[in-house]
Chains A and B, each alone.
Chain A
Amino acid sequence: MTTHRIECVVSGESHSLDVPTGRMLSDFLRDDLHLTGTKRGCETGVCGACSILLDGEVVKSCLMLAAQVDGRNITTIEGLAEGDSLHPLQESFMKCGGLQCGYCTPGMIMASCDLLKNNPNPTVEEVQRALSGNLCRCTGYTQIVESILHAAEEMNHGN
């Protein structure tokens, strides 16, 4: 098997290892690093369950090779909380019921992180557009959007 040496930081932890060239980034995170918060859904770039932040920007980890993240900084859902205190988006999804089965939630939250970083006061329509790469098969979109608007408010008030 042909391998490729990569060095990357995943949620604050440095990794240096040889990965098979054909290893998908989503498989690398889940199967090699055992970070199973990132979900595999459609694995064809449609559902967004595998969304992660790459150098702070949301991407789909099923559309990338692990070999492509050499020298890059990744944040997965596991990297959002600080110790025992959850990220405001995580708190907000719980409080506003922004999930039903929960499978799409990590991807929804990573996409929302990217949105709120660039636009701390999004409108409903801007939230919807930011989530256009994420599907919820439970169709719980209304509360997902509410969760994000609520988190934005909390973050702006410094809570």
Chain B
Amino acid sequence: MRDFHYLEPVSVEEASRMLAEHEDDEVRLAAGGTALILTMRQRMLKPTHLISLAKIDRLRGIGFDSQAGLRIGALSRHADIAKSEVVRQHYPVLASMAERVANPQVRNQGTIGGNLCYGDPSTDPPACLLALDASVVLGSSRGERTLPLEEFIVDFFETAIEPDEVLIEVRVPPMKAGAKGIYSRFLRTAAEHRPLVSVAVVATREGADWRDVRLTVGASTPMPMRLRRAEDFLQTQAPTAAAAAQAADIVAQDIMPISDSRGDAEFRREMVRVVARRSLCQLFEISEEGSA
């Protein structure tokens, strides 16, 4: 690995000033480092300066308020989110997603902030957080701003973060009374820790029906995305296996899957269809054949 300077700011402002100061160099932020160090070992990145965020207390902790919702500090590790009592109680879908990320070792080291800033689509958190209508708080020496996750994720490995900004925390609004979330994924083999397909759906039960549907697909597309046509369709439907299948067809139609060595576009499209149908049946609490 190439030689680099290792910097340890203790505040967001200090980190931001360091980023600005080294703007002309190759400078990278390190949270847990699980993804970053791999790219450095493979020489895809050759930073001259590495800024460790580990000493910035502001980026730590998970908190919940019934009005404001959930706050997840950027340095929270996937294991912290999976174990958090408030997450398990108020956002069980998020806890269930977090406890499946990669493998135990990576969950003990990798962070939610690092995951989102890296912008790798083939991971679990982005699609799940998008379905939960999450936002990110970005900070710099110029101040702070909040961006919906949908605007933060711009493209394949690309985010809206400015060169001098640090992701401070993720915010998730409170789930409505009667709201439920399902996060499902498809792995090509049990040993592969990156999903080939992921589907998240969050909706609110109103009588026998499910409304306020947010349905997202990740891992199969260049970036996680909401499927609005399928969401709108579901708003008008009774929760049946036929509706789930039709919505899954709309989802499969509306995505532009990526093609790579792990799976070509048509394979991914078919698996998205399957996972979407199963997720919706799970939400509706019915079998795929239609019986309750």
| Interface residue ranges, A against B (CB under 8 Å) | 1-2, 4, 20-22, 24, 43-45, 48, 51, 54, 57-60, 63-65, 67-68, 111, 114-115, 129-130, 132-133, 135
Pairwise interchain contact A133-B1, C-beta atoms closer than 8 A: no
SS class, residues of chain A in contact with chain B: mixed
* Contact indicator per residue, chain B 33-46, by CB within 8 Å of chain A (1) or not (0): 11001101110000
B34 x A63 contact (CB < 8 A): yes
State A14–B247 Cα separation when bound (angstroms): 59
Q: Separation in Å of the B170 CB from the closest CB of chain A?
A: 22
Give the residues in chain B near A132, CB-CB below 8 Å: 103-104, 190-191, 193
CB distance from A75 to the nearest CB of B (A): 13
Known: A45-B106, A63-B34, A67-B52. 16 other contacts (CB 8 A): A2-B5, A21-B3, A22-B3, A22-B4, A22-B40, A24-B41, A45-B34, A59-B105, A63-B37, A64-B33, A64-B109, A68-B33, A68-B52, A111-B104, A132-B104, A132-B191
Residues of A contacting B238 in the complex (Cβ-Cβ under 8 angstroms):
none
Q: How far is the CB of B98 from chain A (nearest CB, A)?
A: 14
B79 close to A57 (CB less than 8 A): yes
CB–CB A44/B41 < 8 A? yes
A65 touching B105 in the complex, CB below 8 Å, given contacts A21-B50, A22-B4, A132-B193: no
Tell which of B34, B37, B104 touches A58, judged by Cβ atoms closer than 8 Å: B104
In the bound complex, residues from chain B placing their C-beta under 8 Å from that of A60 are 34, 105-106, 109
In the bound complex, residues from chain B placing their C-beta under 8 Å from that of A4 are: 6
Q: How far is A4 from B193 in the complex, measured between Cα atoms in Å?
A: 33
A114 to B34, CA, bound (A): 19
Contacts of B176 in A (CB 8 A): none
**Is B102 close to A, CB under 8 A?**
yes
Could you tell me the distance between the alpha carbons of A130 and B107 in the complex, rounded to whole angstroms? 11
Q: CB of B2 within 8 A of chain A?
A: yes
Are A48 and B103 in contact, CB atoms less than 8 angstroms apart?
Answer: yes
8 residue pairs A–B, Cβ–Cβ below 8 Å:
A21-B3, A24-B37, A45-B38, A58-B105, A60-B109, A63-B38, A133-B104, A133-B106
Q: Which residues of A contact B38 (CB under 8 A)?
A: 44-45, 63
Q: Given contacts A44-B41, A64-B37, A67-B52, is CB(A2)–CB(B4) below 8 Å? A: yes
The docked-state distance in angstroms from the alpha carbon of A20 to that of B5 is: 10
Q: Hey, which chain A residues are within 8 Å of B52, CB to CB? A: 67-68
Are A133 and B6 touching (Cβ within 8 A)?
A: no
**By the criterion CB–CB under 8 Å, are B108 and A65 in contact?**
no
The complex places the Cα of A57 from the Cα of B108 at a distance, in Å, of 7
The residue of chain B having its C-beta at the shortest distance from the C-beta of A110 within the complex is: B105
Instruction: Please judge, given known A-B contacts A58-B108, A133-B104, whether A65 and B37 are in contact too, CB under 8 Å.
Output: yes
Task: Name the residue of chain A whose CB is nearest to the CB of B79.
Answer: A57
Whether B68 is near chain A, meaning CB under 8 Å from some CB there, is: no
Query: Are B33 and A114 in touch, CB under 8 angstroms?
Result: no
Contacting pair A48 B105 (CB below 8 A): yes
Q: How far is the CB of A62 from chain B (nearest CB, A)?
A: 8
Taking CB atoms, residues of chain A closer than 8 Å to B79 are 57
Q: A101: shortest Cβ distance to chain B, in Å?
A: 19
- Cβ A21 vs Cβ B4 within 8 A: yes
In the bound complex, residues from chain B placing their C-beta under 8 Å from that of A20 are 3
Q: Given that A63-B37, A64-B37, A67-B52 are contacting pairs, would A111 and B2 also be in contact in the complex, using a CB cutoff of 8 Å?
A: no
Give chain B residues whose Cβ lies under 8 Å from the Cβ of A130. Answer: 104
**Is A2 a contact of B6 with CB atoms below 8 Å?**
yes
Name the A residues within 8 Å of B191 (CB-CB): 132, 135
Interchain CB contact (< 8 A) of B33 among A22, A63, A111, A129: A63
Q: Which residue of A lies closest to B34 (CB)?
A: A63
Cα–Cα, bound, A22→B251 (Å): 45
Q: Which of B38, B42, B109, B190 has its CB near the most chain A CB atoms (within 10 A)?
A: B109
Q: Which residues of chain B are near A43, meaning CB under 8 Å?
A: 41
Q: Which residues of A contact B256 (CB under 8 A)?
A: none
In this complex, what residue of B is CB-closest to A57? B108
Chain B residue at minimum C-beta to C-beta distance from A129: B104
**Closest chain A residue to B110 by CB distance?**
A63
Chain B residue, CB-CB nearest to A4 = B6
